[in-house]
Chains A and B, each alone.
Chain A
Amino acid sequence: MDAPPPDGRPRPPLRLLPTGGAVQVNQPLPFGAGRNGRAAPSDLTETMGKVARGDKQAFSALYDALAPLVFGIVLKVVRDRAQSEEVAQEVMIDLWRQAARYRPDAGSVQTWAATIAHRRAVDRVRSAQAAADREHAQAAREHTTAFDEVAEQVETRLESEQVRRCLRGLTELQRQAVTLAYYQGLTYREVAEALRTPLPTIKTRMRDGLIRLRDCMGVTT
């Protein structure tokens, strides 16, 4: 017998929760071919095709390949572990539902899954915020006091050496704008409030920050 999930509970202040002990091993998904002996993106595209035709075995393989990515980013944004488990499961079911709508020409399967997972996580966090009827200003104050800590922890907790290195290559404001939005689920308006920076500046920093990250990581589509 389980207790109901803590839905509608006010979003806790910006604090990165420990996620299950120090010995936990992250398993970043490979984007290049064959890292850790896992399937390369092209193999996943083929798997997606089978999933789109209702192949449960292919979906089982897809689950194994994508669940760490999905659960990781959901947990990062939602923070509450029980809620994150629910959201991650909903995302995986959604990948099954939407499999036929995946278009390889629009990006890799990982990118598609990360986009859906991040969106669901953000939706959960924002609806929880709305339910708690939280004051915008209050949120901004909390973010302001915590963003230094967040930026610092984001760096030390990243498993991917390349991502860590590329984030370090951003200016302070670029890095804060990118990580507050993506890892904390803030809108660019909230980011602007949290960093006490004009809206157009934040938009621009997000853009040139992502351009720098893109080039540093050698991302192509």
Chain B
Amino acid sequence: MNHHTTDAHTLAAAYALGALDDDERKDFDAHLQTCEACRQEAAEFQATTARLAAAVAQPPPPGAKAQVMAAVDGVRQLPPRVPAAGAAPVLGGILRRRAVSLALAATVAAVALGGVAVWQTQNEQELEQQARQAQQQLDAVSAVLAAPDAQTVHGKAANGALTTVVSSEQRNQAVFTAANLPAPGAGKTYQLWLDHDGTMLPAGLIDHDGTVILAGNPADAGAVGLTLEPDGGSPQPTTDPLLLMALPA
């Protein structure tokens, strides 16, 4: 057709090698939708470059798996790619289902929100409300993890918990993930803090392994702290921090 389309047929190798820039890659992705020959060639080339990847395989760092396994608790899976008609918003899907699904969603939320017992109430409207909040929480976590400017910091708390903070300046949000977090003990909870020039502001509670969105304004914070507090949390830290992780500047 035009110059561009003719050119596209020659790009399957550069595409499989990751040697196209962003715009060219998008163009070629679009071209693949309509060109069976390039699709076949690109698939074979990608299988070939995957061998180049396998040839440099390395044992992953110890501890990484525990963090990934904890992180995916809070990450909603994408639906299969389907034709446009099927692409209804997930939230709508949840609200159309009956209370069983809603209770399930609320349970997922309870996990994601650090064990808050949100499903004791039987009122369906409240359940819907909670399911909606749960979905928003999960979406927010996914959005931060998927943000193009997401930055990750790893830490280890004094009680042995492995922690990760993923923050996105663009979204002004950060998520906190804990793995191997010991039980806080009766009448106690872990509390997260954002350090604003030495002032610790409450950033949420977490009771067991999982991922939570940090409350507050991470962009202005220099560090994330973790302390053990009485149930319900405290306005200021009452114990020595188990962890203080510097945030990316």
Give the interface of A toward B (CB within 8 A): 1-5, 7, 19-20, 24-29, 31, 52, 54, 56, 59-60, 63-64, 67-73, 75-76, 85-86, 88-90, 92-94, 96-101, 106-108, 110-111, 113-115, 117-119, 122, 127, 157-160, 162-164, 178, 181-183, 185-189, 191, 203-204, 206-207, 209-211, 213-214, 217, 219-221
Q: 6 closest Cβ contacts across the A-B interface?
A: A114-B50, A73-B53, A160-B55, A72-B57, A207-B13, A163-B55
Nearest B residue to A208 via CB reads B13
Known A86-B152, A210-B45; contact A31-B54, beta-carbon cutoff 8 A: yes
Contact yes or no, A90 B152, CB < 8 A: yes
Smallest CB separation, B130 vs chain A (Å):
20
Give the interface of B toward A (CB within 8 A): 10-14, 16-21, 40, 43-61, 64-65, 67-69, 71-72, 75-81, 142, 145-146, 148, 150-156, 164, 243-249
Smallest CB separation, A145 vs chain B (Å):
20
Contact yes or no, B17 A85, CB < 8 A: no
Contact partners of A72 in chain B: CB under 8 A: 53-54, 56-58
Contact yes or no, A210 B16, CB < 8 A: yes
- The A interface is mostly helix, strand or loop, or mixed, namely helix
A and B contact pairs by CB, cutoff 8 A, 13 listed: A1-B244, A1-B245, A2-B154, A56-B69, A68-B57, A75-B56, A93-B72, A97-B78, A100-B78, A107-B43, A111-B47, A162-B51, A203-B11
Contact yes or no, A210 B152, CB < 8 A: no
Nearest A residue to B67 via CB reads A89
Contact yes or no, A88 B60, CB < 8 A: yes
Nearest A residue to B81 via CB reads A101
Contact partners of A183 in chain B: CB under 8 A: 52, 56
Complex Cα spacing A32 to B142, Å = 35
Nearest B residue to A105 via CB reads B43
